[in-house]
């Protein structure tokens, strides 16, 4: 019989993040090393990364990353893109072949801008136009899937252990001011390329450790506003919830956190009358967007990064600081392996968002 402490029982999935508040660019090598330390928290069925600031030469264009099942899907999707966007540059996503990553789909990258005539005819703002095009591709073009669509950022994900995924996509050749990573341990859905984390919409990306019990209620609500949850996974619906609240409803990220990890009613009752009224309003108006169950999230966005746990802190999250950099991980070892000497290290409270932004910018 093994003694207590000799058997490692991970709580499934690993997340890690690095952010430079000064905007200093970092290669993807450090985030690969960080997530590799938590190898045993995933099972080889999904790994992925998001990098911000990685496309400075195309920073004003939307960078679409696509998976294709076959050439027919690619031809049909490119016809759609040509009808709706100005394609400034397109190419295969560079990879380094390895026996540890197999059965890869076709992977292409497009730098695009909406065609002015199409945008005008749509009577939509630019971001909503792009979102609807992404959803249309993912819903109606068989064998095509847009897994990244932001400006000056990109998502890279696959079936495999995350450290192998990072080297497969040659992330050491990219430089960004913000990186997030995920090692997946699927619970309800099979491991496949599209289902790996991060999930993204425009410049928003989410990596998630946990399993939410509110999925059906959240999905039914969010799909009333044009989103389509094609992948049947909780991280997809979390991404759409945050996009809806921040982009469509105009909530600040602190308010988004107060919706998805809302304070308990007993906590709200103990607040001042003004604060009680505000928190009650958010809980009542967005009651269907409360996320229940164990989770820890890293939410990347242009110019910033947010970390948040569920209200009961049922999933781990450690944060460290050193000079201008902030580190996030499921385990402290994943921070110490890339920055042994920290100025500060702590674990945030349940439901308490930790938001970092570039110097001079706001969330």
Pair 56, 106: CB distance under 8 Å: no
Buried b (16+ CB within 10 A) or exposed e, 117-148: eebeebeeeebbbbbebbbebbeebebbbbbb
Whether residue 2 is preceded by a cis peptide bond, meaning omega within 30 degrees of 0, is no
Structure tokens at 227: 């989103």
**Helix, strand, or coil here: 190?**
coil
Helix (H) or strand (E) holding 110: strand 106-114
Count CB atoms within 10 A of the CB of residue 95: 15
Active-site annotation holds for 133: no
- Sign of the Cα torsion 146, 63, 159, 207 reads negative
**Quick one: which of 141, 151, 113, 142 has its CA closest to 129?**
113
* Cα–Cα dist 238/219, whole Å: 9
Pair 298, 305: CB distance under 8 Å: yes
**Helix, strand, or coil here: 188?**
coil
* Cα–Cα dist 161/39, whole Å: 7
* Cα–Cα dist 94/109, whole Å: 9
Tell me how long the chain is: 363
The single residue of 13, 77, 133, 229 carrying the catalytic annotation is: 13
Residues catalogued as catalytic: 13
């Amino acid at each position: 019989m093994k003694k207590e402490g000799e058997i490692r029982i991970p709580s499934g999935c690993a997340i890690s993040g690095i952010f430079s508040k000064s905007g200093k660019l970092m290669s993807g090598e450090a985030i690969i090393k960080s997530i590799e330390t938590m190898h045993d928290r995933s099972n080889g069925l999904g790994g992925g990364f998001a990098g911000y600031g990685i496309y400075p030469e195309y920073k004003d264009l939307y960078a679409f990353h696509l998976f294709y099942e076959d050439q027919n899907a690619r031809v049909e999707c490119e016809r759609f893109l040509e009808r709706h966007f100005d394609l400034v540059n397109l190419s295969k996503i560079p990879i380094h072949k390895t026996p540890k990553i197999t059965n890869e789909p076709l992977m292409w990258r497009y730098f695009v801008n909406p065609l002015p005539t199409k945008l005008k005819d749509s009577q939509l703002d630019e971001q909503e136009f792009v979102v609807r095009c992404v959803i249309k591709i993912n819903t109606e073009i068989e064998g095509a899937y847009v897994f990244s669509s932001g400006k000056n950022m990109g998502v890279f994900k696959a079936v495999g252990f995350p450290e192998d995924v990072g080297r497969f996509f040659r992330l050491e050749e990219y430089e960004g001011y913000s990186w997030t990573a995920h090692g997946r341990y699927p619970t309800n859905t099979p491991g496949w390329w599209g289902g790996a984390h991060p999930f993204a919409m425009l410049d928003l990306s989410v990596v998630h450790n946990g399993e939410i019990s509110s999925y059906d209620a959240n999905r039914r609500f969010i799909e009333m506003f044009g989103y389509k949850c094609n992948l049947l996974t909780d991280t997809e619906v979390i991404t759409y919830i945050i996009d809806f609240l921040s982009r469509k409803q105009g909530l600040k990220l602190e308010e988004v956190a107060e919706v998805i990890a809302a304070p308990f009613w007993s906590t709200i009752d103990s607040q001042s009358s003004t604060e009680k009224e505000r928190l009650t309003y958010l809980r009542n108006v967005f009651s269907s967007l409360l996320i229940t169950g164990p989770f820890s999230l890293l939410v990347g966005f242009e110019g910033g990064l947010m970390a948040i746990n569920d209200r009961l802190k049922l999933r781990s999250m450690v944060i460290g600081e050193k000079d201008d950099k902030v580190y996030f991980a499921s385990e402290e070892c994943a921070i110490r392996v890339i920055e042994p000497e920290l100025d500060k290290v702590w674990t945030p409270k349940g439901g308490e968002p930790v938001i970092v932004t570039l110097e001079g910018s706001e969330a």
